[in-house]
Amino acid sequence: MSTSMRAVRLTDHRLVVSEEPLPIPLPGEVLVRVLVVGICETDLQLIQGYMGFRGILGHEFVGVACSGRWSGQRVVGEINCSCHACETCRSGLPNHCPHRTVLGILNHDGAFAEYIAVPERNLHPVPEDVSNSQAVFTEPLAAALQIPAQLPALRGQRVIVLGDGRLGQLCARVLQAEETNLKVIGRHPHKLDLLRPLGIETALESDATPDHSADVVVDCTGTSSGWNAAMEWLRPRGTLVLKTTVAGTQTLNWAPIVINELQVIGSRCGPFVPALKALQQKRVDVEPLISARYPLEAATEAFELVQQRRVLKVLLDVAAE
């Protein structure tokens, strides 16, 4: 093992591919040799200044554990590194630990690198019949699966997903598997085209007239226009699920929340075990979402591409198995 590695570092709103020392695992952490990483909307927000993060980006990865229980095996990793000792952790909410670091997001270097240090307890082995290109979707798929984890009675409910991008695509697939009465509203015909073969009803935003009929709206736009549309789509006492962390403030109208006694819930990281199982059982098909792959050295080009509207998931191939 070399003592240095290539990595993608965020400094002052700028990405640089740099030579870095290998991460030094903290107690309880193991080194993971990264194989494939995915670029996420949150990475774009971090570059915009969200969370004030400086360091190595990247939190969607599949790699090979270099030591510990899963040594030599392919693994994916949960991103919240929690203390597991405080009141919040002991109350069953370790993902909300106030002392946590978060891989590639908060005080912990991420996975756009040849190696990443990850708490061993965060790792999950990847089943043999799940490819790297599938496994790299485990983290965002788990985030989508957090919706049924928070709203267990979705079956048969009238659900609208706003947004046909990376996150909207995954949420739609999960909510279709949950047998909801689903419609996805987006702005990109070719992205909506990916959903119809799955039996998912879709509509272009310009063609859809909100009618206060939805039980649940899932906002995957992260914009005030998504919020305002949700207010028009939801029935009284309906639920708006916010999935996107966005930098800065939004101009929102809150009167409809009160008038219609709506519920708004935030939804962040989700459960990895059901995500891996969904991938293994082919219940959620993720590979059609891959728009492009780049080597790690071409990360800045990959980030330029991912900001184009027509593009869905962009992967970085860091190493061969």
List interacting residues with its own copies (CB under 8 A). Answer: 50, 88, 93, 96, 98, 150, 212, 227, 235-237, 242-268
CB of 210 to its own copies, least distance (A): 13
What is the DSSP pairing of strand 74-77 with strand 60-65? Answer: antiparallel
- Which tokens go with 95? 């993902």
Nearer of residues 204 and 252 to its own copies, judged by Cβ: 252
AA letter at 308: Q
Q: Which residue has the tokens 């709103």?
A: 13
Tell me if 264 sits within 8 A of 237, measured CB to CB: no
d(CA 259, CA 238): 12
Q: How far is the CB of 122 from its own copies (least distance, A)?
A: 18
* Closer residue to its own copies in complex, CB, 25/226: 226
Closest separation between CB of residue 312 and its own copies, Å?
A: 21
Q: Point out which residues pair with 204 in neighbouring strands.
A: 186
Cβ of residue 211: shortest distance to its own copies, in angstroms?
10
How many Cα atoms occupy the beta-carbon half-sphere of 116 within 13 Å? 38
Cβ neighbours for 248, distance < 8 A, ≥ 6 positions apart = 49
Minimal distance in Å, beta carbon 268 to its own copies?
Answer: 6
**Residue with Cβ nearer its own copies (216 or 262):** 262
Distance of closest approach, residue 243 Cβ to its own copies, in angstroms? 7
Give whichever of 198 and 264 is closer to its own copies, judged by the CB atom.
264
Q: Which is nearer to its own copies, 125 or 274 (CB)?
A: 274
Q: What is the DSSP letter of 243?
A: -
- Asked if residues 305 and 316 have their Cβ atoms less than 8 Å apart, the reply is no
| Nearest Cα residue to 195 out of 171, 216, 218 | 171
Comparison of 50 and 300: residue with beta carbon closer to its own copies: 50
